[in-house]
Structure 1
Amino acid sequence: MLKSLSSLSRLALAGLCLALVAGCSSTAGKVDPTAGWSAERLYSQARADMGSNNWSEARKHLEALEARYPFGVYAQQSLIDQAYINWKDEEPEQAKAAIDRFMQQYPNHPGTDYMLYLKGMITFTPPSAVLSNITRQDPSERDPKGLRESYEAFNELIKRYPDSRYTPDARKRAAWLVNTIAENEVHIAQYYYERGAYVAAANRAQTVVTDFEGAPIAEKALYLMMISYEKLALPELAADAKRVLDRNFPDSKYYQQGLHAPLNYWNPINWF
Structure 2
Amino acid sequence: MQWRNAPSKASEAKSSRHGMTLARLALVLALALPMGACSSFSNLFNKEEAVAPDEPPERLYNEGVFLLDRKQDYKEAAKKFSEVERQHPYSDWARKSLLMTAYANYEAKEYDESVSAARRYVTLHPGSPDAAYAQFLIGSAYYERIPDVTRDQGQTEKAIAALEEVSRKYPDSEYAQNAKRKIEMARDQLAGREMSIGRDELNHKRYAGAINRFKIVVTQYQTTRHVEEALLRLTESYMALGVVGEAQTAAAVLGHNFPDSRWYQDAYRLVKSGGFEPEENKGSWISKAFAKISPFAKKNS
Shared fold, TM over 0.5? yes
Higher relative contact order (CA 8 A, sep 6+): 1
Please give the per-residue CA displacement for 1:219-268, whole angstroms capped at 9, x wherever unaligned: 1111122222333443333333233223223375347779xxxxxxxxxx
Match among 44, 51, 69 for residue 88 of structure 2:
69
Aligned length: 235
CA contact (8 A) 2:201 2:210 kept: yes
The two structures have a TM-score, normalised by structure 2, of 0.65
Gaps of 5+ in 2: 1-24, 268-301
Gaps of 5+ in 1: 1-5, 130-138, 259-272
Match of 1:211 in 2: 220
The two structures have a TM-score, normalised by structure 1, of 0.71
Match among 16, 21, 29 for residue 43 of structure 2:
21
Aligned-residue identity in percent: 26
The alpha-carbon deviation at position 77 of structure 1 amounts to: 1.3
The alpha-carbon deviation at position 144 of structure 1 amounts to: 2.8
Match among 61, 65, 79 for residue 43 of structure 1:
61
Q: Which protein has the larger Cα radius of gyration, Structure 1 or Structure 2?
A: 2
Match among 171, 193, 198 for residue 189 of structure 1:
198
Secondary structure in 1 matching 2:223: coil
> 2:99 is matched by which residue type in structure 1?
I
Match among 102, 108, 112 for residue 127 of structure 2:
108
The alpha-carbon deviation at position 107 of structure 1 amounts to: 2.0
Secondary structure in 2 matching 1:216: coil
C-alpha separation in 1, matches of 2:98 and 2:163: 20
C-alpha separation in 2, matches of 1:244 and 1:169: 31
C-alpha separation in 2, matches of 1:192 and 1:17: 78
The alpha-carbon deviation at position 16 of structure 1 amounts to: 11
Match among 116, 130, 145 for residue 154 of structure 2:
145
Are positions 1:53 and 2:75 aligned together? Answer: no
Match among 89, 104, 109 for residue 85 of structure 1:
104
C-alpha separation in 2, matches of 1:230 and 1:115: 50
Are positions 1:164 and 2:182 aligned together? Answer: no
Residues 205 and 85 of structure 1: CA distance in aligned 2, closer, same or farther (over 3 Å): same
> 2:175 is matched by which residue type in structure 1?
Y
RMSD: 3.4
CA contact (8 A) 2:235 2:246 kept: yes
C-alpha separation in 1, matches of 2:63 and 2:42: 32
Match of 1:248 in 2: 257
Are positions 1:201 and 2:195 aligned together? Answer: no
Match of 2:298 in 1: none
